[in-house]
Amino acid sequence: MKIGMIGYAFMGAAHSHAWRTAGRFFDLPATPEMAVICGRSADKVAAAAAKFGWAESATDWRAVVDRPDIDVIDICTPGDSHAEIAIAALEAGKHVLCEKPLANSVEEAARMAEAAKSSSARSMVMFNYRRVPALALARQLIADGRIGTVHQVRAQYLQDWLVDPDFPLTWRLDAASAGSGALGDLGAHSIDAAQFLTGQRISAVGGVLETFVDSRPRLDGSGRGPVTVDDAALFTARFDGGAIGVFEATRFATGRKNAMRIEVSGSLGTLSYDQESMNELRFYDGTEDARTAGFRRILVTEATHPYMDAWWPPGHIIGYEHTFIHQVRDFVTGVVDGTELSPSFEEGLQVQRVLAAVQQGVSLRSV
Amino acid sequence: MKIGMIGYAFMGAAHSHAWRTAGRFFDLPATPEMAVICGRSADKVAAAAAKFGWAESATDWRAVVDRPDIDVIDICTPGDSHAEIAIAALEAGKHVLCEKPLANSVEEAARMAEAAKSSSARSMVMFNYRRVPALALARQLIADGRIGTVHQVRAQYLQDWLVDPDFPLTWRLDAASAGSGALGDLGAHSIDAAQFLTGQRISAVGGVLETFVDSRPRLDGSGRGPVTVDDAALFTARFDGGAIGVFEATRFATGRKNAMRIEVSGSLGTLSYDQESMNELRFYDGTEDARTAGFRRILVTEATHPYMDAWWPPGHIIGYEHTFIHQVRDFVTGVVDGTELSPSFEEGLQVQRVLAAVQQGVSLRSV
Amino acid sequence: MKIGMIGYAFMGAAHSHAWRTAGRFFDLPATPEMAVICGRSADKVAAAAAKFGWAESATDWRAVVDRPDIDVIDICTPGDSHAEIAIAALEAGKHVLCEKPLANSVEEAARMAEAAKSSSARSMVMFNYRRVPALALARQLIADGRIGTVHQVRAQYLQDWLVDPDFPLTWRLDAASAGSGALGDLGAHSIDAAQFLTGQRISAVGGVLETFVDSRPRLDGSGRGPVTVDDAALFTARFDGGAIGVFEATRFATGRKNAMRIEVSGSLGTLSYDQESMNELRFYDGTEDARTAGFRRILVTEATHPYMDAWWPPGHIIGYEHTFIHQVRDFVTGVVDGTELSPSFEEGLQVQRVLAAVQQGVSLRSV
Amino acid sequence: MKIGMIGYAFMGAAHSHAWRTAGRFFDLPATPEMAVICGRSADKVAAAAAKFGWAESATDWRAVVDRPDIDVIDICTPGDSHAEIAIAALEAGKHVLCEKPLANSVEEAARMAEAAKSSSARSMVMFNYRRVPALALARQLIADGRIGTVHQVRAQYLQDWLVDPDFPLTWRLDAASAGSGALGDLGAHSIDAAQFLTGQRISAVGGVLETFVDSRPRLDGSGRGPVTVDDAALFTARFDGGAIGVFEATRFATGRKNAMRIEVSGSLGTLSYDQESMNELRFYDGTEDARTAGFRRILVTEATHPYMDAWWPPGHIIGYEHTFIHQVRDFVTGVVDGTELSPSFEEGLQVQRVLAAVQQGVSLRSV
């Protein structure tokens, strides 16, 4: 299975490691070949190819998409190019693995979902946190009824890298490139995780978006430019299955580095997770005798835990990049075996609709 | 200083212990005398008097308020009687300590605040969590500028005692007695704590209220009756100083017993608190070198911590009832010394306004 | 039941609070009357009597012991006077509650145990940590077989108040008054807890005692005097039931304020406790499926937990002084009902034997 | 740099991943080539070569050592073959990376250290936990004086995989193959970490070794055979710089999966670590004001933390296998640049001496 990857920054390193490593630990039905990596700067992408272990580098993504030997297009670029690349790839019959959020607008995402439906090729959105063993286990426990009827979701995705008002104006702070700020970058993960875990879809939302620092130093040194995305997004939500939820996505939570937290409470129990301790899942089983009931810290490192039979003995933890390796495992397996690939572009589109509804906002009531 | 206490249930035990104990550990400018406890059932209130150590018992609160020897009326009844008792007491020149929330409606609370302003006597609302040493310390650190400009508040008050659908229909589930459900009982604490800690007032709110179980067994055995209050209330908020916040109050968070949690993030740091570990305060000092920065677990048991010079050596923790002892200390001291009593009825009224705005609700946007 | 208390410092405040409060929350078969408090300084003990609520004060403990109206002698003095007071009280037919460790030597403790056996009066050692609800629950779970055969104990009692080399030379640092240092003050608690929890007795010990700072400023300002006790004591142990254990008692664990920790591992599970979070017990149930097994944080605040039906709703924690209240409850109940009082002086003697064996030391093997 | 690896089980997978990955994230002065993997079973080792990505497989380690093109021998076999292979490799001028513990006896380890000294080639013991960023940071902080004079070490290495009495009799339970049990497998890590962190050497030891289950099912189904190693080893220690310590290594700590914990207390602070949360370091800075002092949870994921500039953004954690990648980085760098390789075989020998002294044992004192 020959892979062409478009984009080579932070996500490029993570994806490359995943393509290189998945087959060394998992039994895959096909061997990924790291055929070509593509980026705009010839020099930089050539260096990235050497560093990450790709056979070739290229600067024209359309040429990569057109190569008949390429089976898979892996899209790691900023959100504004997802739709164009993904649709071209799908039309060329290439399987597509696309970074999240699916697009920068509902319109783009809808065209992508349509292309995915029309294509004979397969597609998947890279909500990699679904592949955290602890969250995959949480999904199993909820599906098994271990927490009963889901009543409430509390989700936070807390980072702090924008607290410094002189942090520069990167593409992630520009609405044209990134679509939104903390909302799309972080909140999209929380939304997908909430829907994945509960099996319910968010049906209505409302809250607050805020930009605390509205101008920042331009990268080219030409003074300060406007920040056109949110620094923080807070909202409450209703789900179509009767649950309610509260969400916070922020880049201003000083001291919280990558705290993607989600807690789901049901009639029989609660599950709780924090990405900063990604090998742990907290589980309260409300069917236990109150005398000995308590939140259990499940160290998700047993061979019977999702994905963990490929790794180390119990108690030996894994890290962030394993989520990508697991996603590659599931992608390759699903493509070859013809089984479901999840999250689909249709699911990615639904997340986009939630993001759009949050961005449209509601009027709070004055006190 | 002679005390008359109205009400004798859960809060009666806690208040009695506080009146009995405060002078044994703190140097008070006046000695509280536990003169009379008042309740509707003569037998039960007499038993409570004996058990809790009150000199007399009574069944007519008006007679207690009229007694010339009584200096202080301590109101521990459900919210629907607060206004009537407090206003009568203030008009009779008695100092008043009133349980939270101040009332069941803005209108009642406004009349109480007005009575407080007109009276020569002093008054205070019993938001006892302000007297948790860890939260008092948090307030000091914020006031000292240790976390810089406050950007965000995340507040949760999680309990789970209503998850069982056959939990009976007590007065707390009846809007006429209790005003609201989780919102007024739990959310009021979070609102007061958020405003106390940040020094900012909530100016706008919106979110979701939900009643998951809408009928419950009546206490008298006559079948099920309607639940007329919220089981959970989720809302986002704007503060008048520029901060934003997210709030959750619920009695359906299975496994969370009394998790009054609040985290405040500012430009220089973050403070984090959980009532289930009430002797601890987490503090992230963003001015530290990133190499050694981290959330500190401050064990708030040092003699230099608020209220703690009266208690045990470092590391020897205190419990829930100490918050009441500390409040009595502050109340007695403030009354005798003529210093400010906080939270005032005016502050209680403002919390009531926030509660009312949340209850009026907003329309979420459909996805 | 009339109480005479000898000693009035730190432990005096805690004991007084317990005598004053126990009957307000528990149903006691007799009402403790705080009759007389005794100390060497007439002024100070009179002030203590007023502060703590004792009817009278006295300076001659023998006179107190001889008073025919006194039923109970509560001994809160340093260890060097325990034997003399306790034996006199027991011979006078008074029930005795004695602070730990029972004495400063095996010889004294043996005479006390002998006096206890010969007397018609009842006696009890104040190992108050047995009355922590979490540890009482742990004992129940072990006795119920929930962790199977006990294999290992890991016990630490970590404080840090001697790290400052200029901390003064108090009686606790003088072997003549205190017997030993961290070993007897802190290690005695760990030894008692280990034996209480496991139901096994320590049969052999060996390890290291160390004094890091060997002279300290005298309290009277006359220069520095010698520290004649251990700053830290570390030892391994064998139990008579086949378990093994490791113990550490230290006043030099910088940042650890009152970390009395104990973890007991058995063939079916493990229990773990830390006094700094005294309302929590960790329990790993090894009979659970590995997929969902994990250490549970049991919040020991349920009405079904030991002692907790007298206190607050679930999730509302208690503090250090409650251990004394619970001990008074058990003492009064046991004395009146004629049921077993534990720990007995015999048990206190056995702890003393362990302390003595540790102090005699072993030769480590050179590397 | 051509690598030959001897052994291909658990450690083989980890080492292979490290050789394959180190150069993809770190800038190495030479590129490791995975030339040959060697094991006793031709079929199995060929499969391992394909799975792990080695160019060739072999069954005769002497032939591998003799290959002139091989630069490095990586030894992952059980301890009883370390000495023979390592000495042969060093004599053949190959650089050697050897798994821990260095050998099964002091005599073997001494010969290895001698061979290392005599050889022109370089050598290193695989105490991989030195390469955990949190422990490397801890070492820096201690070396910088941040905790002052080191007084105490408390070290535990807790696992539980032998609690089941029917766990089979693998080579790790056979003294002839493994040398010792929990002591050498787990305790060796604790000993090395304690000496690495403190910069002091253990000079005297004594404690308890215990085998709780003395026979287990043979792997070939022929009934039960004797367990000839310790299940648990507990000991106290003195260090040559004045510190004292307590150590526990056990495979019977039910529920503890890989809890390699170490805490070092000094005159100015304390550092605390648990391998189950290997991205975190706790630091108590005793020079802070007591009002805000507390154990900090340093999330060791900043670019300024050891090894972490090669990995992900702050808050994105790494896993167990990264310790091997870091060790490969340090080994390759040290070999090419001629800088110190640590831990040396001499250091490995010293650990062996401590293990031997613990095994010789001491007589505890009867109570």
Task: State the architecture of C133-277+279-318 in CATH terms.
Answer: 2-Layer Sandwich (3.30)
User: Would an 8 Å CB–CB cutoff place A50 in contact with chain D?
Assistant: no
Residues of chain A with CATH 3.40.50.720: 2-129
Chain B residues with beta carbon closer than 8 angstroms to that of D137? 291
Q: Is the pLDDT of residue A298 over 90?
A: yes
* Helix (H) or strand (E) segment spanning residue A328: helix A322-337
Interchain contact, B297 vs D294, CB within 8 Å: yes
Residue of chain B minimizing CA distance to C278? B317
Chain centroid to CA D266: how far? Answer: 25
pLDDT at C137: 98
User: Would an 8 Å CB–CB cutoff place A259 in contact with chain D?
Assistant: yes
pLDDT tens-place string over residues B261-291: 999 999 999 999 999 999 999 999 999 999 9
The pair of three-digit structure tokens given for residue D230, joined into one six-digit string? 């310790």
Interchain contact, A292 vs C283, CB within 8 Å: yes
List CB contacts of D180: < 8 A, sequence separation 6 or more.
Answer: D104, D229, D230, D233, D355, D359
Mapped onto helix, strand or coil, the DSSP state of residue C298 is strand
pLDDT tens-place string over residues A6-56: 998 878 899 999 999 999 999 999 999 999 999 999 999 999 999 999 999
Question: In this structure, which amino acid lies at residue C166?
Answer: D
Chain B residues with beta carbon closer than 8 angstroms to that of A284? 254-255
How far does chain D reach from its first CA to its final CA, in angstroms? 60
* Helix (H) or strand (E) segment spanning residue A196: helix A188-198
**Helices and strands, counts by H and E, chain D:** 11, 17
Chain A residues with beta carbon closer than 8 angstroms to that of B236? 206-208, 234-236, 364
Q: From A86, A27, A79, A32, select the one nearest A61 (Cα to Cα).
A: A86
Interchain contact, B161 vs C319, CB within 8 Å: no
Best mutation target among B15, B132, B258, B275 (most C Cβ atoms within 10 Å) is B258
Q: How far apart are CA D165 and CA A347, in angstroms?
A: 49
Contact A251, A161 (CB under 8 A): yes
Interchain contact, C298 vs A292, CB within 8 Å: yes
pLDDT bucket at D91, cuts 50 / 70 / 90: very high
Question: In this structure, which amino acid lies at residue D153?
Answer: V
Interchain contact, A257 vs D321, CB within 8 Å: no
pLDDT tens-place string over residues C92-112: 999 999 999 999 999 999 999
Chain C residues with beta carbon closer than 8 angstroms to that of A291? 137, 298, 302, 304-305
pLDDT bucket at D9, cuts 50 / 70 / 90: confident
* Residues forming beta bridges with residue B248, ordered by sequence position: B156, B234
Determine what percent of chain B is predicted with pLDDT higher than 90: 97
User: Would an 8 Å CB–CB cutoff place D235 in contact with chain B?
Assistant: no
* Residues forming beta bridges with residue B259, ordered by sequence position: B158
Q: How far is CA A207 from CA A201, A259, A364, B245, B248, in A?
A: 18, 21, 8, 10, 13
Contact C238, C202 (CB under 8 A): yes
Contact B104, B80 (CB under 8 A): yes
* Residue from the list C245, C350, C366 with its beta carbon closest to the beta carbon of D204: C366
Mean pLDDT of A356-367: 92
Report the greatest alpha carbon distance in chain D: 65
Length, in residues, of chain C: 367
Residue of chain A minimizing CA distance to D31? A51
User: Would an 8 Å CB–CB cutoff place C321 in contact with chain B?
Assistant: yes
Task: State the architecture of A2-129 in CATH terms.
Answer: 3-Layer(aba) Sandwich (3.40)
Q: Is the pLDDT of residue C133 over 90?
A: yes
Q: How far apart are CA D187 and CA D193, in angstroms?
A: 10
* 110-169 of C, contacting D, C-beta below 8 A: 147, 151-152, 154, 156, 160, 163
Class of domain C2-127: alpha beta
Interchain contact, B315 vs C14, CB within 8 Å: no
The pair of three-digit structure tokens given for residue B149, joined into one six-digit string? 């400009």
* Residues forming beta bridges with residue B216, ordered by sequence position: B225
Residues of chain B with CATH 3.30.360.10: 133-277+279-318
Chains that touch B (3 or more CB pairs under 8 A): A, C, D
Q: From B179, B198, A17, select the one nearest D312 (Cα to Cα).
A: A17
pLDDT at D12: 87
Alpha helices in A9-60 (DSSP H): 10-25, 42-52
Length, in residues, of chain B: 367
Chain B residues with beta carbon closer than 8 angstroms to that of D283? 292, 294
Chains that touch D (3 or more CB pairs under 8 A): A, B, C
Contact B252, B163 (CB under 8 A): yes
* Residues forming beta bridges with residue B236, ordered by sequence position: B206, B246
pLDDT bucket at D8, cuts 50 / 70 / 90: confident
* Residues forming beta bridges with residue D38, ordered by sequence position: D6, D58
Pairing mode of beta strands A56-58, A33-38: parallel
Phi, psi of A319 (to 5 degrees): -125, -170
Mean pLDDT of A265-269: 98
The pair of three-digit structure tokens given for residue B309, joined into one six-digit string? 């010079």
pLDDT tens-place string over residues D107-158: 999 999 999 999 999 999 999 999 999 999 999 999 999 999 999 999 999 9
Residues of chain D with CATH 3.40.50.720: 2-128
Q: Is the pLDDT of residue C12 over 90?
A: no
pLDDT tens-place string over residues D291-328: 999 999 999 999 999 999 999 999 999 999 999 999 99
pLDDT at B55: 97
Mapped onto helix, strand or coil, the DSSP state of residue D171 is helix
Best mutation target among B251, B254, B257 (most A Cβ atoms within 10 Å) is B254
* Helix (H) or strand (E) segment spanning residue D22: helix D10-25
Interchain contact, D293 vs C366, CB within 8 Å: no
Q: How far apart are CA D245 and CA D194, in angstroms?
A: 9
Q: Is the pLDDT of residue C200 over 90?
A: yes
* Residue from the list B141, B281, B291 with its beta carbon closest to the beta carbon of D305: B291
User: Would an 8 Å CB–CB cutoff place D298 in contact with chain B?
Assistant: yes
Residue of chain A minimizing CA distance to C294? A298
Chain D residues with beta carbon closer than 8 angstroms to that of C160? 265, 286
Pairing mode of beta strands D232-239, D202-210: antiparallel
Q: How far apart are CA A255 and CA A163, in angstroms?
A: 10
Interchain contact, B141 vs D292, CB within 8 Å: yes
* Residue from the list A159, A276, A301 with its beta carbon closest to the beta carbon of D317: A276
Q: How far apart are CA A231 and CA A209, in angstroms?
A: 8
pLDDT tens-place string over residues A173-188: 999 999 999 999 999 9
Residues of chain C with CATH 3.40.50.720: 2-127
Q: Does domain B2-128 have CATH number 3.40.50.720?
A: yes
Q: From A332, A318, A306, select the one nearest A74 (Cα to Cα).
A: A332
Q: How far apart are CA D87 and CA A61, in angstroms?
A: 54
Best mutation target among C251, C257, C304 (most B Cβ atoms within 10 Å) is C257
Chains that touch C (3 or more CB pairs under 8 A): A, B, D
Return the number of other C-beta atoms located less than 10 Å from residue A36's C-beta: 22
Return the number of other C-beta atoms located less than 10 Å from residue B145's C-beta: 12
* Helix (H) or strand (E) segment spanning residue C17: helix C10-25
Q: How far apart are CA C73 and CA D141, in angstroms?
A: 52
Please compute Rg for chain A using Cα positions: 21
Mean pLDDT of C181-197: 97
Q: List chain B residues with pLDDT less than 50.
A: none
**Helices and strands, counts by H and E, chain C:** 11, 17
Residue of chain A minimizing CA distance to D314? A257
pLDDT tens-place string over residues A50-73: 999 999 999 999 999 999 999 999
pLDDT at A214: 96
Identify whether D101 is preceded by a cis peptide bond (ω within 30 of 0): yes
Contact D175, D230 (CB under 8 A): no
Q: From C84, C94, C97, select the one nearest C15 (Cα to Cα).
A: C97
A351 Rama sector, left if φ>0, alpha if ψ -120 to 50, beta otherwise: alpha
Return the number of other C-beta atoms located less than 10 Å from residue A282's C-beta: 22
pLDDT at A149: 98
Chain D residues with beta carbon closer than 8 angstroms to that of C246? 207, 234, 246, 248
Chain C residues with beta carbon closer than 8 angstroms to that of B278? 317
* Residue from the list C281, C285, C293 with its beta carbon closest to the beta carbon of A298: C293
Which has more confidence, A250 or D361?
Answer: A250
Mean pLDDT of D336-362: 96
User: Would an 8 Å CB–CB cutoff place C102 in contact with chain A?
Assistant: no
Interchain contact, D293 vs B296, CB within 8 Å: yes
Chain A residues with beta carbon closer than 8 angstroms to that of D314? 161, 257-258
User: Would an 8 Å CB–CB cutoff place D345 in contact with chain B?
Assistant: no
Best mutation target among D19, D21, D276 (most A Cβ atoms within 10 Å) is D276
pLDDT at D220: 94
> What ipTM score was computed for the predicted complex, to two decimals?
0.96
Specify the long-range contacts of residues D112-115, CB closer than 8 Å, at least 24 apart.
D112/D82, D112/D83, D112/D86, D112/D87, D112/D345, D112/D348, D112/D349, D113/D344, D113/D345, D113/D346, D113/D348, D113/D349, D115/D86, D115/D87, D115/D90, D115/D91, D115/D345
Chain B, chain C: beta-carbon pairs less than 8 Å apart: 99
The pair of three-digit structure tokens given for residue D79, joined into one six-digit string? 């301890």
The DSSP secondary-structure symbol of A364 reads P
The pair of three-digit structure tokens given for residue C164, joined into one six-digit string? 């400052």
Interchain contact, A151 vs B202, CB within 8 Å: no
CA distance D110 to chain C (A): 14
